Amino acid sequence: MTTHTECQDSGDAAASESTAEPTATPLQPARRRFLQSAAAAATIGAVPHLHAQTQPQTPASPPPQSNPVVPPRPVTLTVNGRAYTLQLEPRVTLLDALREYAGLMGTKKGCDRGQCGACTVLVDGRRINSCLTLAVMHEGETITTVEGLASNGALSPLQSAFIEHDAFQCGYCTPGQLCSATALLNEFRNGAASTVTADVRARPAALTDDEIRERMSGNICRCGAYANIVAAVRAAHDNA
């Protein structure tokens, strides 16, 4: 009986050992190697950044020095028969000198880059864009603005024609249109040709609508009163 019991116990123990779950292989060495590798990689990646931070900083370049301010000086402009002595900095345009210093607000500032013609004035009889020229360049010259087109309180024939033919709407471009058209009529009377003149070596035969449009092409009317402007210029020419 004793022998049977011992065999049975031995068999049970063997069966118990055979049915037990296998023990998992320890992962501690592999995990340790992974953590060591990650720490080494992080240390190597941080070295350039730390090295850059420890480099001496290049001193900032000093700010550029501004150009010295040029003081204003007296400039005498003869405008509409009157002498104006103005204290102007050399970079002041003729347009700003007329409006902001002489108080002649008839000349308008449109594009301020010579594209619209609203600032047209006459200098020694020639039309120019006053926004593109400096006031100091015109000492000793005769300047005529829209305020100087009338004589003794009476409108010029061209000004009257603009009113008669309704050659304006908002009126912003009208001062430049009037100055430009005044010069146009003088240029035509003096025999100056244009790009639409059939023979530029000869005097234009007639002041046609095409001639007027071409000669007034530097003046923009955003209201679109071009047909009436042409009619007014032609009427002033025919009635002269």
Q: Residue 229 is part of which domain span?
A: 157-238
Q: Which residue, of 148, 169, 200, is where some domain finishes?
A: 148
Query: What is the dihedral angle through the alpha carbons of 191, 194, 198, 203, rounded to the nearest 10 degrees?
Result: 0
Residues 109 and 169 in one domain: no
Based on the fold, state whether residues 164 and 141 are members of the same structural domain: no
Q: What is the pLDDT of residue 57?
A: 60
Q: How far apart are CA 222 and CA 44, in angstroms?
A: 69
Mind listing the pLDDT tens digit of every residue in the chain (240 residues)? Answer: 444 444 444 445 444 444 444 454 555 667 777 777 767 666 666 555 555 455 556 667 777 777 778 899 999 999 999 999 999 999 999 999 999 999 999 999 999 999 999 999 999 999 999 999 999 999 999 999 999 999 999 999 999 999 999 999 999 999 999 999 999 999 999 999 999 999 999 999 999 999 999 999 999 999 999 999 999 999 999 998
Domain end (from 118, 148, 178): 148
The pLDDT, as a whole number, for residue 131 is 98
Within-domain flag for 188: yes
Is residue 10 a part of any domain in this protein?
A: no
Predicted confidence at residue 65, as pLDDT, reads: 75
CA distance 175 to 52: 66
Altogether, the residues listed in the chain come to a count of 240
Residue 50 lies in a domain: no
Give the predicted TM-score (pTM) of the model. 0.72
138 assigned to some structural domain: yes
Flag whether 106 is in a domain: yes
Instruction: Identify whether residues 142 and 94 lie together within a single domain.
Output: yes
Q: What is the CATH number of the domain that holds 86?
A: 3.10.20.30
Amino acid at 46: A
Q: How far apart are CA 135 and CA 70, in angstroms?
A: 15
Statement to judge: residues 80 and 128 lie in one domain: yes
113 plus 166 within the same structural domain: no
> Quick check: helix, strand or coil at residue 58?
coil
What confidence score (pLDDT) does residue 47 get? 52
Are 144 and 204 in the same domain? no
Ordered DSSP codes for 77-89: EEETTEEEEEEE-
One domain for residues 163 and 233: yes
In the sheet where 73-79 sits, what is the strand order?
82-88, 73-79, 142-144, 120-123, 126-129
Residue 187 placed within a domain: yes
Number of structural domains found in the chain: 2
CA dihedral 136, 144, 217, 221 (to 10 degrees): 100
Q: What is the CATH number of the domain that holds 188?
A: 1.10.150.120
d(CA 94, CA 143): 10
In a domain, 17, yes or no: no
Answer yes or no: do 105 and 84 share one domain: yes
CA–CA gap between residue 93 and residue 181 (Å, rounded): 23
Instruction: Give the whole-angstrom CA distance, residue 231 versus residue 216.
Output: 12
Orientation of helix 226-238 relative to helix 157-164, angle to 10°? 140
Q: Strands 73-79, 142-144: parallel, antiparallel or unpaired by DSSP?
A: parallel
Q: Report yes or no on 61 lying in a domain.
A: no
CA distance 204 to 188: 7
pLDDT at 45: 61
Domain boundary among 126, 148, 170: 148
